Structure 1
Amino acid sequence: MPAQDDAFRGLDPARTDPLNAPVLVARRGRGYWSARPGETSRALRPDRVATAWHDHQPLVIHKPATARRLGLDPVQLEAFDLLELFAFINPAETPPPTARGLAAALDVELPGADPAGEIACIRAIARRLLKVASIKLRLPEPAALLHEAAQAGWIWARPLIQASGAVPPADSWGLRVWGRLPEWQEQPPEGRPTQLGVLPEEAVQRLERLTGAGAEPRPEQRRYAMHASLTFAARHEGQGPALVLAEAGTGTGKTLGYIAPSSLWAEKNGGTVWISTYTKNLQKQIDDELDRLYPDPDEKARRVVVRKGRENYLCLLNYQEAMRRTDTGPDRAGLVLTARWIGATRDGALYGGDFPGWLSELVGRRATLDLTDHRGECIYSACEHYRRCFIERAQRRSRRARIVVANHALVMVQAATGGDDQYGPDRFVFDEGHHLFDAADAAFAVDLSGREGEELRRWIAGRETQRRSRARGLRDRVGDLVAGRPAAEEALAEAMRAARALPAEGWRQRLEDGLPEGPFEVFLARARGTVLARAAGDADAPYGLEAPVAPPAPDFIVAATELEAALRLLEVPLGRLSEALAGMLDEEADTLEPGDRARIDATARAISRRAAGLVKSWREMLGAVEEGPPAHHVDWLAIDRAFGRDVDVALKRRWIDPMLPFARVFGERARGLLVTSATLTGGRLPARAKATAPDGDGDPPATAETRDGLDWRTAFTRSGARHIPGTPQTLSLPSPFDYGASALALVVTDLRRSSADQISAAYRELFLAAEGGALGLFTAVRRLRVVHDRIAAALEEAGVSLYAQHVDPLDTATLVDIFRAEEESCLLGTDAVRDGVDVPGRSLRLLVADRVPWPRPDILHRARRLAFGGSHYDDAIVRLRLRQAFGRLIRAREDRGVFVLLDGALPTRLTTAFPEGVTVERVGIAEAIRRTRAFLHPQAGQDRDRRDGAGLPLPEASGNNRGPAVPGTRQPGDRQQDNRRPDDISG
């Protein structure tokens, strides 16, 4: 080990206290170390940082990220991580995990961009947190948990005990934090709501109350609210729900526009309106806007519920079992931090709620995210925590709420299965309506796969190995219910035996070794062999593969027949078991306690969904292997891969038009549907829309679906309007922003998109020209990683931090939070950051997309393309994705931004995706860089020296702004070919 530097001598690690500890700030490949308060920081190579870090426990923010930037292993190094301290002192708060993020949350002076400023800020944050701790941690519960943390060896425990003088009370709940949670109480059903309508003028009056007397007049918002009120009009005659399609450009104020009539209808009728979104980010935004409607937090808690799927919530029984298994060490310390959060959380949601997304990386998934009920193993009223369960509480609150903010997937499942309310909602608002098609596609999909089969086996059989597992099988969940009932006991035993035909742990390795066990694994082996045989030269590719089922080989047909027979032996006893449980509700109606009745009902429905739903669908798919799928469906075989390794093998089935089952479900249940988005239509119709071309490339004359100069066909297709009786009410309101003055749209024409060097250089120079605040979008994860690796060091050297999906092990919401807080940072991402992300102001001033986001030409897409109009379907998808991407850029009137597409293959007909006032210019990359710098930083002029590109080729500009002929680059007018690889993930 190298000799210690003088700066590190004299510091005894055993006595280091956080306020006098060294501070470490990392940049890529270099660390900045300040040994003592007031001491100037020193820049050190990673090996020197490793030596200092090993001997001294520094103050850091986000230890894993700090170590990654230096190429060090965080597991081997201890540090006083201020994020852990923040999570203990301020549970259920979610600041971005950076110095700037913590400083803003604690009202500490924000740091400068240089390492010295960040070091000073870190010391100030530590002082502020320890000062707060001296007050907060004297309370009984945090004091008890603090001493639990000390016994677990948590690094912050002793300093906090010294700072606060916390003494654990004798009667504390400690880690048994569930004892402090309130119990929910059963309430009588409210009955069906009345059906009084909402008039347009009433909606406007409610809107004015929400916006306040001094609000800026917004006529577009008033029009929107009046139109949205048609969803809540009284129904007198006619079939099907009142369907309203409303497109409202960014800045219109559509959220309050539909909250106004929704809340008024709910109050008038004593009913519930479900507002559904596609992203958790928008769920949070809507929840924040509802503060205007219910400014009193207690009233809001009664009237508003944010709902997510069961797998998003912490399971108290899983937490308790983890606590019993873990006596000391990092997992125990992680459970202490989770306990602090449990005592403070609003709704218990580990995903998309008030749980810090960065905490699981600091303390491990076993003490955090793995505590959800992601396998559907709930035992309901048999659980000792049933009356304190976060999920059960949310379900009961939503039955009596006026507004439920949920997501598309949950709303579809609730509507299709009848939900947990015998009456259920009948008025729905689908925001982010452009994603309704994709959400329905996922909700009504069926995969007969190794992963699904293994999961079902675990759900039925429970623990089958000696490995530590929380898996609870059917016997654990219903054994006591069926005891003494011979028919039910026999059905349970038969189902347990039949489940042995499903894939067991280790099935992937057995498939690779050519040693499948049982009919399910044999079928998967035949499916895998079929895909590999038909993949030609792509068999060893790192991305997923697929192949059509037809024509099936004889041995594949035999394997399908044998698996279908084995699944029938499982479906029948599961069905009998479900019927037996349901019969108990009738036979013992006068003796069952409410909790037992709810448990039996929920368990019976869960078994029925597995038997009559999943297993039955699998059998139908296997029966169609030889003859082909039924009408309106498409089947295919697939191998899913990650990092070059097979992770799943499947026979997949999708609806060609998933809005058919959507329309069937909601057409029967709903009385009013509002489908809304900023990008609902296909945009402006091209000028040639007056004639119809027989090949589908032209546009028909103006109809109900192509009126007002807008292409409503996309909205009709993706909203289900084609399958719901009646003609929908439509409205499109443009954004009030002056896009011509606030935005540039540039298409770069002289890059060879297959050249990683050229694309990487373009991203680097554009990001530097913007001086950060840039979002890079990619249609393939592989290209994102390549570009990240090539440009990260250069940006870091220039003081611009770079973050990336699929590179940084943080969830997307946390990455976006960091990007939003750090105005000079850049973010690389795929479609998850293209849709539904709100980053107003300077934090996002440049958006760069690598390619035209054509849909991946897979088997499913080819079937849909044939059904939905050929090239028009492709064009509609690209327009939608471009509109969504551009929509991230300008979020407020004062925003300015540049959109750059690094692909000259964008057809002119698709430029109608951009808002009116935006002129799409085709330029060379050098000109795009100059235009970006001049537009975003006009005060700096356009005479800056260009960087040399660190050896990466970058075309020079010419007088025509298109760039000269550079070897290997494409010139304007060159014929374009679609060279997308199957790993493209657009959409």
Structure 2
Amino acid sequence: MATAVAEAIETEEHLVVQAGTGTGKSLGYLVPALRHALTADTTVVVSTATIALQNQLIARDLPRLAEALRPLLKREPRFAILKGRRNYLCRNRLDTAGQDAEEEAELFDPRALSSLGRQVQRLHSWAEETLTGDRDEIVPGVSDLAWRQVSVAANECMGAAVCPFGTECFAEQARAEAAEVDVVVTNHALLAIDAMQNYHILPEHDLLMVDEAHELVDRVTAVATGALNEKAITLAVKRATRLCDIELTERLSETADGLAMLFTDADPGRLDHIPDALATAVAAVRDAAHGCVTAIGPDNKNDPEASNARRLALAALGEVHDTAVRLLESFEPPLRERQDVVWLTKGDRQAPALHVAPLGVGGLLREKLFGDRTTVLTSATLALGGSFRALAAQWGLGRERSDEPPTPEPRPEGAPEPEAGQPGSATEGEPRWRGMDVGSPFDHARSGILYVAKHLPTPGRDGLDPRYLDEIAELIEAAGGRTLGLFSSMRAATQATEELRERLDFPILCQGDDSTGQLVKEFAADEGTCLFGTLSLWQGVDVPGPSLQLVVVDRIPFPRPDDPLASARQRAVGARGGNGFMSVAATHAALLLAQGTGRLLRSMTDKGVVAVLDPRLATARYGGFLRSSLPPYWGTTDPDVARAALKRLNGAVPV
């Protein structure tokens, strides 16, 4: 992998690398990255999806490498971590936290505000001792509401030149440090903001390492998604009240009421066509917000407090206005030609909101990330269905480079044909790249069994079938606990937890009982304990050793049929003549399955069973595509074989 990365740097060609758990992939890209940074006197950016990996790189991998490579390079490499401005304490905001807290508190549930004052006071004390102002250093942490009182987004910052605390700004200090180092570690969200919103937070760089690249599309999509709701409008009104005529802010406040009334009777879900009344309401928000923006006078830089109030008001008003404009414009093209999808969310614990998101981010990534730099994308799970094509298509990459004339790749049964404009079809102007799979140090076929419960019924929508619960109970009994249960919904995880706690003697932890980190610690500390949960556990659990010898997956994790973004993307692929189900739903499921089943083997001595209870993995036509996306475990559909293997590992029967 290190050699391939070095060659990609030399040839300025993008590289996609699948590197399984235990390969040391961070070293595989950091060594050539550090050499390039020092020999070319430039900065390399490393982007990750999770805080855990960022901390690993900064606290362990980079310090060890810097010391080891010092004799081979002209000096010891330097590195730093850089996050979005919202992650750093703002001293100016802290100075006015009490005033803003009183105003903003009215927008939230009063029951959640009882500890707000104490948390803000903690932040005042912490501000006197912290050297970085980084939110992740606060232990225990504070609520999002409390943190908002002492931080600002990039569009709310008045700028270090005019801020009374500009010389002490933590965010500016972090940016200054990042500009002087060889390697900057950041996250996918900040990478997307830097690339797409033209804030230029990151230093200039010609080499980008994207670790946990399977998360890139979702993180970029989240950054590119806008939301319009009553709370956002009301906050904009409060921030603009002192700067605009009362008639203008009252008009904007009335649009919030009108929008809320329409939300009351509207059904949640995707909107292919906007009703006239809703279009009128959104247009009223747009126009009222624009009226307030134009009424706010010029910046008075001699009055920092007034300048700050103006900046905060313009940021809130601009967000409301721009989202309303985008919502209305998204409906203008014919349905088949639209680039955005709009949907309404509402629920018992969720305030109604209109959302707008791009159908795809490949074009954005191709233009903003891959256009003028060499990019290395790596993860333990990138080859879905035995090919990089699915994810490369989502990233906007072109046809994979080959030194030989292109020949058709063998496709697993059910895998989609490459579509026009996607990898596998030559499209003018698309970035060229090559892929490689460096394999895994694990012998999956000797260390793990993939058991598919072919005899069970196809999962339904009315909760877990009693036969599924019986199957899980028998497997846990055979394993002696030691089970990670990965469920497709919180409802299923809760049902399994409640019913099996009554039937089994093993402790069963359920996501939501405590913080995920604490639950994983408890699970790892007691070999007899089981842990059940949903999405974050599919990708966030790293428990080597005997505490985890059975991974149970209740069903293939397809996106929900009513998921507005996934369903719109699926329809868009179909409109171009492709297989929307395979390109969107099956690819989504394959990625999650690969991540989830990869929880089993985390060290060279680990052994165990992955039990997928959904029979479609063995019987459906797309099952071959999904199975070829998983680690190459030894496979069986015989429950007796799976239980016997677990009993041997548990020591219940002689080996």
Q: TM-score, normalised by structure 2?
A: 0.78
Q: Do the aligned partners of 2:330 and 2:338 also contact (CA within 8 Å) in 1?
A: no
Q: 1:849 to 1:315 in 2, by over 3 A?
A: farther
In the alignment, residue 217 of structure 2 is paired with which amino acid? Answer: F
In the TM superposition, 1:478-877 aligns within 5 A as 492-493=243-244, 498-502=248-252, 518-531=254-267, 545-550=268-273, 552-573=274-295, 577=298, 615-623=321-329, 625=331, 631-641=337-347, 644-650=348-354, 652-668=355-371, 670-684=372-386, 707=409, 725-751=430-456, 753=459, 754-755=463-464, 757-792=466-501, 797-798=505-506, 800=507, 802-805=508-511, 807-810=512-515, 812-857=516-561, 858-868=563-573, 869-873=579-583, 874-877=585-588
CA distance in structure 2 between the aligned counterparts of 1:633 and 1:870, rounded to whole angstroms: 16
In the alignment, residue 374 of structure 2 is paired with which amino acid? Answer: G
Q: 1:835 to 1:723 in 2, by over 3 A?
A: farther
Match of 2:646 among 915, 932, 950: 932
CA shift at 1:291, angstroms? 1.9
CA distance in structure 2 between the aligned counterparts of 1:277 and 1:649, rounded to whole angstroms: 29
In the TM superposition, 1:269-288 aligns within 5 A as 269-287=40-58, 288=60
Q: 1:520 to 1:554 in 2, by over 3 A?
A: same
Which digits, 9 at most, give the CA deviation of each residue in 1:626-680, with x for residues without a partner? 7667934233331232xx3442231x22221112122222245x32111111211
SS at 2:266 equivalent? helix
CA shift at 1:556, angstroms? 3.3
Q: 1:821 to 1:675 in 2, by over 3 A?
A: same
In the TM superposition, 1:46-195 aligns within 5 A as none
Match of 1:913 among 579, 604, 629: 629
CA distance in structure 2 between the aligned counterparts of 1:285 and 1:721, rounded to whole angstroms: 39
Q: 1:569 to 1:320 in 2, by over 3 A?
A: closer
CA distance in structure 2 between the aligned counterparts of 1:776 and 1:792, rounded to whole angstroms: 13
Which digits, 9 at most, give the CA deviation of each residue in 1:596-651, with x for residues without a partner? 9xx98x9999888766666234224225557667934233331232xx3442231x
CA shift at 1:865, angstroms? 1.6
CA shift at 1:434, angstroms? 1.3
Q: Does 1:923 align with 2:631?
A: no
CA shift at 1:257, angstroms? 0.5
In the TM superposition, 1:429-508 aligns within 5 A as 429-458=209-238, 460-461=239-240, 492-493=243-244, 498-502=248-252
In the alignment, residue 525 of structure 1 is paired with which amino acid? Answer: M
Which digits, 9 at most, give the CA deviation of each residue in 1:114-158, with x for residues without a partner? xxxxxxxxxxxxxxxxxxxxxxxxxxxxxxxxxxxxxxxxxxxxx
SS at 1:405 equivalent? strand
Q: 1:281 to 1:761 in 2, by over 3 A?
A: farther
CA distance in structure 1 between the aligned counterparts of 2:130 and 2:524, rounded to whole angstroms: 24
Cα RMSD over matched residues?
A: 4.4
Which digits, 9 at most, give the CA deviation of each residue in 1:389-437, with x for residues without a partner? 4323222211212111111011110122333559633321111111111
SS at 1:493 equivalent? coil
**Counterpart in the other structure of 2:107:** none
Which digits, 9 at most, give the CA deviation of each residue in 1:339-368, with x for residues without a partner? 786677674333xx3444xx34xxx74997
CA shift at 1:809, angstroms? 4.1
CA distance in structure 2 between the aligned counterparts of 1:630 and 1:572, rounded to whole angstroms: 36
Q: 1:343 to 1:881 in 2, by over 3 A?
A: same
SS at 1:903 equivalent? coil
Q: 1:392 to 1:626 in 2, by over 3 A?
A: closer
CA shift at 1:386, angstroms? 4.3
**Higher normalized contact order (CA 8 Å, seq sep 6+, divided by chain length):** 2
CA distance in structure 2 between the aligned counterparts of 1:337 and 1:712, rounded to whole angstroms: 54
Q: Do the aligned partners of 1:322 and 1:367 also contact (CA within 8 Å) in 2?
A: no
In the alignment, residue 638 of structure 1 is paired with which amino acid? Answer: L
Q: Do the aligned partners of 1:567 and 1:619 also contact (CA within 8 Å) in 2?
A: no
Structure 1: segments with no counterpart, 5+ residues: 1-223, 236-241, 465-474, 476-491, 504-517, 532-544, 585-591, 687-701, 944-987
Q: Does 1:397 align with 2:397?
A: no
Q: Do the aligned partners of 1:759 and 1:787 also contact (CA within 8 Å) in 2?
A: no
CA shift at 1:333, angstroms? 7.9
CA distance in structure 1 between the aligned counterparts of 2:63 and 2:439, rounded to whole angstroms: 27
Match of 1:411 among 191, 198, 201: 191
Which digits, 9 at most, give the CA deviation of each residue in 1:92-116, with x for residues without a partner? xxxxxxxxxxxxxxxxxxxxxxxxx
Larger Rg: 1
CA shift at 1:387, angstroms? 3.5
In the alignment, residue 766 of structure 1 is paired with which amino acid? Answer: L
Match of 2:9 among 232, 240, 243: 232
CA distance in structure 1 between the aligned counterparts of 2:231 and 2:145, rounded to whole angstroms: 24
CA distance in structure 1 between the aligned counterparts of 2:522 and 2:152, rounded to whole angstroms: 28
CA distance in structure 1 between the aligned counterparts of 2:416 and 2:226, rounded to whole angstroms: 30
SS at 2:369 equivalent? helix
Q: 1:902 to 1:348 in 2, by over 3 A?
A: farther
The 10-residue stretch of structure 1 (713-722 or 831-840) with the greater mean CA deviation from structure 2: 713-722
CA shift at 1:332, angstroms? 8.6
SS at 1:835 equivalent? helix
Q: 1:367 to 1:822 in 2, by over 3 A?
A: farther
Q: Do the aligned partners of 1:761 and 1:791 also contact (CA within 8 Å) in 2?
A: no
In the alignment, residue 500 of structure 2 is paired with which amino acid? Answer: I
Which digits, 9 at most, give the CA deviation of each residue in 1:26-58, with x for residues without a partner? xxxxxxxxxxxxxxxxxxxxxxxxxxxxxxxxx
Q: Do the aligned partners of 1:679 and 1:880 also contact (CA within 8 Å) in 2?
A: yes
Q: 1:367 to 1:879 in 2, by over 3 A?
A: closer
Q: 1:435 to 1:755 in 2, by over 3 A?
A: closer
CA shift at 1:763, angstroms? 3.7
CA distance in structure 1 between the aligned counterparts of 2:638 and 2:361, rounded to whole angstroms: 40
Q: 1:439 to 1:302 in 2, by over 3 A?
A: same
Q: Do the aligned partners of 1:706 and 1:712 also contact (CA within 8 Å) in 2?
A: no
CA distance in structure 2 between the aligned counterparts of 1:573 and 1:447, rounded to whole angstroms: 24
CA distance in structure 1 between the aligned counterparts of 2:153 and 2:201, rounded to whole angstroms: 23
SS at 1:622 equivalent? helix
In the TM superposition, 1:174-253 aligns within 5 A as 224-233=1-10, 242-253=13-24
CA shift at 1:225, angstroms? 0.8
Q: 1:824 to 1:566 in 2, by over 3 A?
A: same
Q: 1:794 to 1:635 in 2, by over 3 A?
A: same
Q: 1:724 to 1:392 in 2, by over 3 A?
A: farther
Q: 1:405 to 1:896 in 2, by over 3 A?
A: same
CA shift at 1:452, angstroms? 3.5
In the alignment, residue 499 of structure 2 is paired with which amino acid? Answer: R
CA distance in structure 1 between the aligned counterparts of 2:406 and 2:236, rounded to whole angstroms: 46
CA distance in structure 1 between the aligned counterparts of 2:597 and 2:581, rounded to whole angstroms: 22
SS at 1:940 equivalent? coil
Q: Do the aligned partners of 1:440 and 1:659 also contact (CA within 8 Å) in 2?
A: no
Q: Across the two proteins, how many residue pairs are aligned to each other? A: 600
Q: 1:501 to 1:336 in 2, by over 3 A?
A: closer
